[in-house]
Amino acid sequence: MKLVKDFLWSEGMSVEALVDSLGSVGYQATELSEAVKVIMKMKRTNARIFLTFTSNMATSGLRGFFAQLCELNIPNILVTTSGSIEEDIIKSLGENFEITNFNADDVSMHERGENRVGNLLIHTSGYMKFEDKMTELLEKIYEKKKRISSSELIYEIGMMLNDNNSVLFQAAKNNIPIYCPGIADSSFGFQLYMFQQKHPDFVVDVIKDMERITVDLSFDEKKGLISLGGSISKHYAIFAALLSGGFDYAVYLTTSHSSSGSMSGATTQEAKSWGKIKDDGEAATVIGDVSITFPLIMSSVLEKMKKEGLLK
């Protein structure tokens, strides 16, 4: 039986040592430490790793970390929402998102052309630059291809961004597909609609990606999932894995709970009832703010990978 041990600080403590020591603290600290162990098993067994996240995480400073993880070839497949795509592009255009507070005067912000996401602020002017850039990017893509899948579209855009902190750029550069099943949502989807009004023969084929993501997976290979938040990005990944036997490993990081019956709060045990995670699959669920838990978990993973020679 594992015993509870007091957490003690030591001078020069690494993130790896910190997270390892949390394993004996209890509560979510123990789950956070378990998440590191599960992800390390993914890497040691050379599993195909899905990283899924929602747009609010690309709004935050995690966006550059996602790009860095792609550069290091940690995930093999990304699944996200369309808001992530547009905000990655906006940041690539040099727009800075600001930190405000959760109790800002939203009416005054609206009058100033400011938009709030939690305690973050996005200027409306950034969307104006985004709209102009999207027209330019889509015209270039249209010249090459009239019918294109969502993942191919995102790849083409990523290759034209040339921003090392861009998720789209690093994913495209390192041949990591980005799937966005809800691409019609957000300002990004609206720009696709506006472009199609001028070019009716331009088609973004979302269903084509379902073929690609399912054919790309096999029953024989190990598969792992790191899911941040939930919604469509999480479900798209676990449904794809279901068709090839389910995930061998899964780590859920979320603030949601299972009591609502939502995908964001659905547990790894619930996933086993569908076959989305294998009966003997290893999993951990960390309840907490992903902007805190994910950097801690992955920094510990990267330190361990470097020690074991698994980091390129």
Say what percent of the chain tops pLDDT 90: 88
Average pLDDT estimate for 205-221? 90
**Residue 271 confidence (pLDDT) above 90:** no
> Residue 228: which region, alpha, beta or left (left: phi > 0; alpha: psi -120 to 50)?
beta
d(CA 285, CA 211): 29
Residue whose C-alpha is closest to residue 299's, from 22, 24, 80? 22
How many CB atoms are closer than 10 A to CB 292?
12
CB 252 within 8 A of CB 39: no
Residue-wise pLDDT tens digits, 283-310: 999 999 999 999 999 999 999 999 999 9
User: Strand pairing of 48-53 and 98-99?
Assistant: unpaired
Partner residues linked to 282 by β-bridges: 249
d(CA 175, CA 201): 28
Residue-wise pLDDT tens digits, 159-197: 999 899 999 999 999 999 999 999 999 999 999 999 999
**Cα dihedral across residues 201, 180, 138, 145: positive or negative:** negative
d(CA 274, CA 48): 20
pLDDT at 265: 80
Question: 3-state class of 114 per DSSP?
Answer: strand
Distances (CA, A) of 128 to 97, 150, 171: 15, 23, 25
Residue-wise pLDDT tens digits, 78-134: 999 999 999 999 999 999 999 999 999 999 999 999 999 999 999 999 999 999 999
Residue ranges of the domains in the chain?
47-97+123-291
CATH topology of domain 47-97+123-291: Deoxyhypusine Synthase (3.40.910)
Active site residues: 276
pLDDT at 304: 98
**CB-count exposure of residue 307 (10 Å: 0-12, 13-18, 19+):** exposed
d(CA 9, CA 19): 12
Q: Note the pTM of the prediction, 2 decimals.
A: 0.95
